[in-house]
């Protein structure tokens, strides 16, 4: 026990090393779980419906993602659910976790702006929007003034998709090739708009 007094110094040295390497700063930039709230697709639509902005809302509306909750009521889904011992897929966590963005807050839907009917909406991939839904914040992100993660804006990767597009526990699984699927649902912001936002301070 004689050397116990040296432990705080050792801990201090380790912390100092991490701090100088920038490691602790990187941790501080990561958003805390539960920090951001879902705003719902109507809020996203405010900016992302216009053709000059890329009409992302319209593209999403035509996608299978927009109908993901609705498909749980189909005869095919009901029959498959019955085999798995699920009476109603539209209320089953096993199904909703991938068919409704609102599943994350389903126990508090009365107080939420997001609905089950939205299916797999914007915030499934981009993160709960309360921190980045304002136009001014999006411009700051585009210009590099604000880190994406600090406002809850997620980087979309293959892992984002394969949380649900996986064979495990999915009797409707179809081969998932990330690049091909990404191209199919592509909804980019036009380069001119991105450049304008990045340039405006």
Domain extent, residue 124, equals 35-199
The verdict on residue 21 lying in a domain is no
The verdict on residue 192 lying in a domain is yes
Q: How many domains does the chain have?
A: 1
Residue with tokens 């409704």: 100
Half-sphere exposure of 196 (CA within 13 A, CB side): 9
pLDDT given at position 34? 61
C-beta separation of 58 from 49 below 8 A: yes
What is d(CA 45, CA 82) in angstroms, rounded to the nearest whole number? 36
pLDDT digits 0-9 by tens, 120-133 = 999 999 999 999 99
Q: Which two tokens stand for residue 182?
A: 């990404």
pLDDT digits 0-9 by tens, 178-193 = 999 999 999 988 887 7
Query: How many residues can be counted in the chain?
Result: 201
The verdict on residue 66 lying in a domain is yes
The verdict on residue 122 lying in a domain is yes
pLDDT digits 0-9 by tens, 108-163 = 999 999 999 999 999 999 999 999 999 899 999 999 999 999 999 999 999 999 99
**pTM of the entire predicted model:** 0.77
């Amino acid at each position: 026990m004689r050397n116990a007094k040296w432990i705080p110094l050792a801990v201090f040295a380790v912390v100092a090393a991490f701090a100088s390497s920038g490691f602790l700063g990187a941790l501080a930039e990561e958003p805390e779980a539960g920090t951001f709230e879902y705003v719902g697709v109507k809020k996203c639509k405010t900016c992302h419906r216009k053709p000059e902005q890329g009409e992302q809302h319209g593209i999403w509306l035509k996608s299978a993602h927009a109908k993901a909750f609705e498909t749980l009521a189909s005869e095919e889904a009901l029959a498959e659910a019955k085999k798995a011992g699920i009476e109603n897929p539209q209320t089953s966590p096993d199904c909703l976790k991938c068919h409704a963005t609102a599943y994350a807050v389903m126990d508090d839907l009365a107080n939420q702006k997001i609905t089950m009917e939205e299916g797999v909406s914007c915030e499934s991939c981009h993160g709960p929007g309360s921190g980045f839904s304002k136009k001014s914040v999006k411009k700051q992100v585009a210009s590099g003034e604000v880190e994406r993660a600090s406002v809850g804006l997620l980087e979309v990767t293959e892992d984002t998709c394969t949380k649900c597009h996986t064979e495990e526990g999915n009797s409707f699984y179809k081969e998932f090739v990330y690049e091909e699927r990404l191209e199919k649902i592509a909804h980019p912001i036009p380069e001119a708009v991105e450049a304008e936002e990045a340039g405006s301070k």
